[in-house]
Amino acid sequence: MNFFGIGGTELVLIVLIMLIVAGPKRMIQWAYVLGLWVGKARTMWQQAVDVLQKEIDEAGVNVQLPKEPPTRQTLNRIVSDAVKPYTQELEATYRQTQQAAKLPKTTDAPPAAKPSAPSLGAWEQPPPPTAAPQADLGSWSAPKQQEEASS
């Protein structure tokens, strides 16, 4: 079931929220009013499609307008069909790149020998810095030193 792009589960969720918010009496009135509006919207859509289709046919253009209001799924399908010729080349290039990435790299050169002495290569950690005496930059202990000097 698909009603204006709303599935069955979403419709049940909407009805439950309406029941909690409005209560059973007002929910019936709201559903009636909502049904009237949906009926009016469908009638307006059908009339607009009929008028536009008549104009398109008189102009000699071979286009068929949809009789039902568009949903999210139909809009996605229309857009993907329109873009497909342009994206096929990109998808082929993407597949070729994926295949090239999966191929193992074979080299005939022997692996490089590991140096015996430690070096500062790109993958090695630098040696830790040596501990240098730190200067007193006004720590919390400064007032205590002044108190001891004054006594």
Closest CA to 18 of 9, 28, 8: 28
Domain containing residue 40:
8-101
Alpha-carbon torsion, ordered 115, 119, 120, 122, to 10 deg: 0
Residue 12 has pLDDT above 90, yes or no: no
Dihedral sign from CA coordinates of 95, 96, 101, 102? positive
Domain annotation covers residue 127: no
Domain annotation covers residue 135: no
Domain annotation covers residue 22: yes
Per-residue pLDDT tens over the stretch 50-96: 999 999 999 888 888 888 777 778 888 888 888 888 888 888 888 88
Domain annotation covers residue 29: yes
Query: Structurally, how many domains does the chain consist of?
Result: 1
Domain annotation covers residue 140: no
Domain annotation covers residue 143: no
Hey, how many other C-beta atoms are within 10 angstroms of the C-beta on 2?
13
What pLDDT does 125 receive? 61
